[in-house]
Amino acid sequence: MPRYSLQKRSLVTGGAGFLGSHLCERLLAMGNEVICVDNFFTGTRRNIEHLIGHQRFEILRHDVTFPLYVEVDEIYNLACPASPIHYQFDPVQTTKTSVSGAINMLGLAKRLRIPILQASTSEVYGNPTVHPQTEDYWGNVNPIGPRSCYDEGKRCAETLFFDYHRQHQIRIKVARIFNTYGPRMHPRDGRVVSNFIMQALAGEDITLYGDGRQTRSFCFVDDLIDGLIKLMNSADEVTGPVNLGNPEEFSIAELADLVLQATGSKSRIVFAPSPVDDPRQRRPDVTLARTLLGWEPVVPLAIGLPRTIADFRSRFFA
């Protein structure tokens, strides 16, 4: 379709969520027009209230499981509940969002001949038997468990992306995102960073699941957004999948100590049972992102955690 404006028009699905809101903000700062599409299942207007009224920003309440006809130059497909509490609330809808949502957004990309980025996840590796995970590892995923709606939904979305690429020559960019944290995380998403911060600030017990020796790596949101934008703007032949995450690995018990130190809280640490299929170890190998995109995370937990705590304090304990 002919166009009058030279500004790039970006569509961000899931734009009112944690990552989506930071992405919308960054794209606006780059001078793009941004259409934020969200059904407000886990995202909130509050996450984007500072963008409302911006000349180049627009919000559409829409569920990506239904077709969407808009005219844009690129698509960032982030719509999907991301934390276990949220994606297990309505697991059928979670799979529909990943699968039907991907089909609709790929159909849109196909009609417009534009690039599309998929927010995939380290969960496609399941409970990995290879450590750290490189992109060529196929994963160890339970197809019928309580996490499957998310893991298998995201795996099927990746399949669709690669089939649209092979069959219809769509320019695809698949990012496998590892645990990311930062301001605007949902306070009750049950994730470890948000749980620990909320518990520490409220003076409640810190709930350590299992023995606390399981590991994760935590990427600060600003680093992750840099990675997504670099990936979208990479050469056409760069399709991914590309791991994006922080390779510095911490045990969950170490994280609990860091949160206690950074908040100055007197909360006690208590042990609780491990969730079903809880991966023991997770750390990205980001060699590919470093080589292809010149990207690597620069914000350590020691800097990102206090920034996140300050945000939680101002939102919930002011």
The residue count for binding ligand UDP (CB under 6 A) is: 24
Query: Site for ligand UDP (CB under 6 A): which residue of 16, 24, 68, 260?
Result: 68
Q: Is 214 in the site for ligand UDP (CB under 6 A)?
A: yes
Rounded least distance, CB 112 to ligand UDP, Å: 7
d(CA 60, CA 62): 6
| Residues within the interface to ligand NAD (CB under 6 A) | 13-14, 16-20, 38-43, 63-65, 78-82, 86, 97, 101, 119, 121, 177, 179-180, 186
- Shortest Cβ 252–ligand NAD spacing (Å): 15
Contact between 73 and ligand UDP by CB under 6 A: the answer reads no
CB atoms within 10 A of CB 93: 17
Name which of ligand NAD, ligand UDP, none residue 11 binds, using a CB cut-off of 5 to 8 Å depending on partner kind. Answer: none
Task: Write down the residue that tokens 């995109």 correspond to.
Answer: 293
The distance of closest approach from Cβ of residue 168 to ligand UDP in the complex, given in angstroms and rounded to an integer, is 7
Complex with ligand NAD: residue 48 or 238, whichever CB lies closer: 48
Given 13, 21, 39, 104, the residue binding ligand UDP (CB under 6 A) = 104
Q: Which stretch binds ligand UDP (CB under 6 A): 5-13, 190-198, 219-227, 294-302?
A: 190-198
69 binds ligand UDP (CB under 6 A): yes
| Footprint of ligand UDP (CB under 6 A) | 67-69, 84, 103-104, 107-108, 110-111, 179, 191-192, 195, 207-210, 214, 216, 252, 274-275, 278
